[in-house]
Chains A and B, each alone.
Chain A
Amino acid sequence: MASEAHSEGTGLVFHPMDQFIVKPLFGEGQIEWYTITNVTLWMALAVVAVVVILVFGTSRRAIVPSRSQSIGELAYGFVYKMVEDVAGKDAVGYFPYIMTLFMFIVCANFLGLIPMSFTTTSHIAVTAVMAMAVFLAVTILGFVKNGMSFLSLFWISSAPLALRPILALIEVISYFVRPVSHSIRLAGNMMAGHAVIKVFAAFAGVAVIAPLSVLAITAIYALEMLVSFIQAYVFAILTCVYLKDALHPHH
């Protein structure tokens, strides 16, 4: 019966999560860690997009920038200013890492909006690795830069003494929740938006509500464009905030 529904597709057939399935790009079979999958393809396309924006776009090195060069410079200035403003002037050395994360997420998010594409950032495995990398890097950096005084991040000296142990407990918990929220925020946003679009797309199969469905898809698509950028921005700015905590743990 299930295969019947699949092959005919007469009724309302929802496969909102099928778009997230990881498949080998060539042939079938087991997915090993080295298998070239649709993940590989879309990540490679993200690399291509980054190269086009930041390398090809700026290849003329014009004093008066062309449009494509303006985009590259805008992205550079945007992230640079964010690092400088949020994490402080001494964090500028970490700017390439944050730029890497931001450019990858923004490109992967927008590539994911192409119909029939695969959204790599909608996978918790991807975002969790990035979030854990940020978390570990920031924690290690904090201890290397500040030694044990990094722990004063959890000891809020401006609070009344009686409250400090409780606050310290809350601070420690929230510190360890950071990578979870950091990763799930991005993956969840991307997955939800794409799934909703897919659901509305399935409704478009019914002639009566098709116009409404198309309108809804258009509206959500616009919203998703916004979300794609905002989530990349949020990921980057939270990274900057964590970095600031590591460099300046004293409140």
Chain B
Amino acid sequence: MATNTSTATEAATPGMPQLDFSTFGNQIFWLVVTLVVIYLILSRVALPRISGVLAERSGTISNDLAAAEELKANAVAAEEAYNQALSDARAEAAKIVASTKADMKAELDAAIAKADAEISQKTAESEKVISEIRATALESVEEVAKSTAMALVSALGGKEDAKTIDAAVSNEMKG
């Protein structure tokens, strides 16, 4: 079996086919043809197409990213506008509260002032009445004193000199 194998191997392979120089021309010719054909196909059709597709894709991606960026900016602007509106409304409300407070205070002040004025007027009237009463009372006292003094003088038996008695009474009351 061993001899069989060795002889068969010897017969079948007269050496490496790679070193059979008679086929080199053929291989080289067809290799050159093949490489030229592949080069032409690649450089004319395949590579421009693929690079075009890749460029288009990166363009699309960057466009989409830009659009997303823009939408994001819009959202941020919308949020800002919302916040602005909110703070404006707050300021407005505070203003309204303040002005209402001021109005109420003014009304209140006016009412108080009016009440004060009425009170002081009434006080003044009362004081006038009181002073009138007091004056009439004094007058009455003087009259009573005069008439009493005249009665006393006449009762004691003096001469009823009205003038003298009046002057004396007035004098006495002043003092």
Contacts and interface: CB of A to CB of B under 8 A. Distances in A.
B156 interface: no
A73 B4 CA distance: 53
Secondary structure class of chain A's binding surface, majority of residues: helix
B5 interface: yes
A66 B10 CA distance: 52
Interface in A74-115: 76-77, 95-97, 99-101, 103-104
A31 B1 CA distance: 35
A31 B26 contact: yes
B52 A124 contact: no
Secondary structure class of chain B's binding surface, majority of residues: helix
Contact of A125 (B7, B12, B18): B18
B94 interface: no
Interface string B68-110: 0000000000000000000000000000000000000000000
B39 A15 contact: no
A54 B18 contact: no
A19 B28 CA distance: 19
Interface stretch (B30-38, B122-130, B143-151): B30-38
B12 A104 contact: no
B53 A61 contact: yes
A55 B49 CA distance: 8
B16 A20 contact: yes
Interface stretch (B54-62, B131-139, B166-174): B54-62
A31 B30 CA distance: 12
Given A31-B26, A103-B42, A96 B34 contact: no
Contact of B26 (A14, A20, A22): A22
B175 interface: no
Interface residues of A, number: 60
A251 B99 CA distance: 84
A103 B35 CA distance: 10
A14 B57 contact: no
Nearest to B39: A100
Given A47-B38, A61-B49, A99-B42, A76 B54 contact: yes
Interface of A: 1-3, 5-6, 11-18, 20-22, 31-35, 37, 39-40, 43-44, 46-47, 50-51, 54-55, 58, 61-63, 65, 69, 72-73, 76-77, 95-97, 99-101, 103-104, 120, 122-126, 129-130, 187, 191
24 contacts: A6-B11, A14-B12, A18-B12, A20-B17, A21-B20, A22-B17, A22-B23, A31-B22, A33-B25, A33-B29, A34-B26, A39-B23, A43-B30, A54-B42, A58-B46, A58-B49, A73-B50, A96-B39, A96-B47, A100-B35, A120-B31, A123-B17, A126-B28, A129-B32
Interface of B: 1, 4-5, 7-13, 16-20, 22-35, 37-39, 41-43, 45-47, 49-54, 56-57, 60
9 A-B pairs closest in CB distance: A2-B11, A54-B46, A33-B25, A5-B8, A22-B23, A43-B34, A20-B17, A125-B27, A125-B24
